Amino acid sequence: MGTKQTIRSLAAIAAAGLALTACGTTSNSEAKATDTGTAAACVQGQKLAFLGATTGDAGALGLNMVGGIKLALDEYNKKNADCQVGLKVFDSQGDPDKAVPLATQIVGDDSIIGLVGPGFSGESLSTGKTFSAAGLPSISPSATNVTITQQGWPTWHRVIGNDSAQGAAVAKYLKTTANAKKVFVVDDGSDYGKGLAGFVRKGLGSMVGGNDTVQTGQTDFSATVTAIKGSGADAVFYGGYYPEAGLLVKQLRQAGYTGLFMSGDGSEDPAFVETAGAQAANGAVLTAPAGPAPANFNTKYKALIGNPAGLYSTQAYDATNIFLAGIQAGKTSHADLNSFIGSYNGTGVSGPISFDAKGDIKQSTIYAYKVSNGKLDTANPTPIR
Amino acid sequence: MDFSFLFQSISPLTISDLFHQFAPLTITGLALGAIYGLIALGYTMVYGVLQLINFAHSEVFMFGTFAVAWVVVFFHGTSSTSQGLFSTLGLLAICLVAAMLTSAAIALLVERVAYRPLIRKGAPKLIILIAAIGASFSLSEIMGLRDQIVGWFGLKDNLSNYVSQARNVYSSPITIDPHGLFSIGNYRVTDVDLLTIGAAIVMMAFLDQFVRRTRLGRGIRSVAQDPESAALMGVNATRVVQVTFLIGGLMAGAAATLYMIRIGTTRQNAGFIFGVKAFTAAVMGGIGNLRGALLGGLVLGVAENWGAALFGTNWKDVVAFVLLVLILLVRPTGILGESLGKARA
């Protein structure tokens, strides 16, 4: 009996051992296979991750970012054919809850050396702890909520000015350039829209002549339009994204409202004009914490991705290039790459980039883009100083 | 830094504002409600006949809105212009036909693929309900992935005006500018308002007469009343169900055209909110009741606008759904609670 049991357990151990060896061999051989023909400095199979919405309601914005990342990677990989960097896209659908398990997957994947993202403010706040605990450096192209960089996450960066700077600039523009006396402020209730509108309200102070909060996905704004017309405001600011911003200005103009319409970076997209219609969009002023993209960026983007570049494409392109510069400089560990990003100083297609200690972009000029002759003039914005 | 200003209360309109703005709020609410009502007809007819909530109906509507935008792009191109309602009537007629056909085709497809096989096998209602939800998601995602689908056939470049940035907002390049016709209170009633409300009432009346007076209508009523007896009397239940979906689809296509005239943009999830609202309208008016569907839509549209004016736009759904609960507490079968089967000839 005793011997039989011993034999059995020995057999079990042996089997387990064999299985383990088998696993070990497979992964070794895989690693070897990818290692063949490598320059000594290059770590093969490195990847950047993107976390954000590529499907769902906000999928269009995430796809703009993925396009920018792909363009940067394509350019890098063509120059460094022997040391390619890949991309893994994690689709959160923009949902802070869905982003959490994806963040765990990302930090568990050893081939991922950095994260371009998260896309939105909500998912940035829900995943920041996971990324900072794992030490994974991240650069967001688009999350602008002020509170994110106040959490003390040393690996979190963004290449876009936060809502506080933009809100102050919007208020300044309305007061001094537009000479508005009474401003009606509308937001969409999202972390981004409400945050930005809040800073605009703060900057305007007693000039706020009315408030409303609409819903993302709403298409009929007749109650808001009625309220704006009834308030006698000579300007409207909308904190939110272009699908709603475009329809709001369209319905305002159709109801005969003639005051100034302003919105932030969430609306600074050619689709704003398409949604509003050329006539209604004319005269609208859209601010963004980014300068105009060089003309050849748009050409290159269209050639590779197929669609025209959209909102946040340039920022995603810049964020990716910072990682790639770090990789080229031989920074392969998370810590090295993170300190490389912290001390980075360069100029991207969206403007000059360097970070402060909290991870916010240091110099961020807010630009006012105008719609005239039925087109969003992306080439000649006015800096708000 | 002090962030308390972020939480300052959003000051809504006041009761006196509602009083002063009564006319614009009510008339724009009626126009939106008319569109809810037309979509609600589809929910209510299918429910009346099958006791099934056809969740895919919101996507039937959404496909109709895309059909309108595609037709405009096909005939007009993509340059953005504004035109009056009357100068575009011819184009809009083509849009209406295209949207009605597209929505009807999608409705029939859903019935054939998602429901009929399950109904034949006598599946429980819950299973059919799940199939409805699945059909709804599938159709919405197919629209959101249409660039990749045409990519399989190598048509992505040829059709880029129709499919590029498939998940983004898709706009009709022609903006229909409403023209004020006459004033009620401090509101100029526009031609688009009249068209929307008028078209909804005419179509509902037409459909109501169709169900009450025609042979097919009698078939629909008989299946709604008692499917087994109807079958024994020689009514072809499958055909009746098909006709019901067809009519629901045609009405959704008409609603889609009116929606595109008023709003002008759509996207792959555009049906969701309107679907929920239309279903609510159907329940409010008495589900299974055709006149109730339109009445429920109008009541809901107006209630939303009044609620938005009183408490702020983010409260409009709360107001609308509290009203729904109150109505159901007093009249559990809805305002006109009478089923399709009991409609008199």
Encode pLDDT of A203-244 as tens digits. Answer: 999 999 999 999 988 999 999 999 999 999 999 999 999 999
Q: Which of B11, B313, B317 sits opposite A223 (nearest CB)?
A: B313
A63 touches chain B (CB under 8 A): yes
Lowest-pLDDT choice from A287-291, A333-337, B90-94, B130-134: A287-291
Quick one: pLDDT at residue A35? 40
Between positions 173 and 192 of A, the ones with CB within 8 A of B are 189
Which position has the higher pLDDT, B168 or A138?
A: A138
Interface of A with B in 249-278 (CB under 8 A): 250, 254-256, 271, 273-275, 277-278
* B74 lies in some domain: yes
Domains of chain A, first to last: 47-162+292-354 (3.40.50.2300), 163-288+366-384 (3.40.50.2300)
Q: Which of chain A's residues have a Cβ under 8 Å away from the Cβ of B177?
A: 254, 279
Query: Would B94 be classed as within a structural domain?
Result: yes
Peptide bond between residue A118 and the one before it cis (omega within 30 degrees of 0): yes
Amino acid letter, residue A240: G
Residue B287 lies in a domain: yes
**Count of structural domains within chain B:** 1
For residue B36, the chain A residue with the least C-alpha distance is: A220
* Contact residues, chain B, for A207 at CB < 8 Å: none
Closest residue in A to B311 (Cα) is A212
Whether residue B277 lies inside any domain: the answer is yes
Residue B167 — pLDDT band, cuts 50, 70, 90? confident
CATH number at residue B251: 1.10.3470
Cα angle A295, A298, A299 (rounded to 5 degrees) comes to 90
Question: What is the full DSSP assignment across B29-67?
Answer: HHHHHHHHHHHHHHHHHHHHHHS---TTHHHHHHHHHHH
Q: Is A127 left (phi over 0), alpha (psi -120 to 50) or beta?
A: alpha
Pairing of strands A260-263, A235-239: parallel
Nearest Cα of chain A lies from the Cα of B51 at a distance, in angstroms, of: 30
Read off the pLDDT of residues B196-251 as tens digits, 9 standing for 90 and up. 999 999 999 999 999 999 999 999 999 988 888 998 999 998 999 999 999 999 99
The partner residue sitting opposite B177, judged by closest CB among A247, A254, A310, is: A254
* Backbone dihedral angles phi then psi of residue A151, each to the nearest 5 degrees: -85, -10
B184, pLDDT greater than 70 = yes
List average pLDDT for each run of 10 residues in chain A, which is 385 residues long: 49 46 40 40 86 83 93 95 93 92 95 94 93 96 91 94 92 95 94 92 94 92 93 94 94 95 90 92 92 85 88 92 94 93 92 91 88 88 87
**Interchain contact A280–B (C-beta under 8 A):** yes
**How close does chain A come to B20, measured CA to CA in Å?**
9
A295: exposed, middle or buried (Cβ count in 10 Å: 0-12, 13-18, 19+): exposed
In a domain, B2, yes or no: no
Question: How many contacts (CB atoms, under 8 Å) link A and B?
Answer: 143
* Residue A53 and residue A98 in contact, taking contact as beta carbons nearer than 8 Å: no
**Which among A59, A146, A279 is the nearest to B175, CB-wise?**
A279
pLDDT digits (tens, 9 = 90+) for B22-73: 899 999 999 999 999 999 999 999 998 888 899 999 999 999 999 999 999 9
Is there a contact between B17 and A227 if contact means CB atoms under 8 Å apart?
yes
Share of chain B above pLDDT 70, in %: 92
- Kindly list the residues from chain A whose CB atom is less than 8 angstroms away from the CB atom of residue B8: 201
User: For residues B25 and B324, is the Cβ–Cβ distance under 8 A?
Assistant: no
Query: Do residues B185 and B22 lie in contact, with contact meaning Cβ atoms separated by under 8 Å?
Result: yes
Residue B189 located in a structural domain: yes
Q: Does A201 touch chain B (CB under 8 A)?
A: yes
Q: Tell me which chain B residues have a C-beta less than 8 angstroms from the C-beta of A146.
A: 3
Residue B1 placed within a domain: no
The boundaries of the domain holding residue B255 are 13-342
Closest CA to B197 of B271, B248, B261: B261
Of B263, B304, B314, the CB nearest to A247: B263
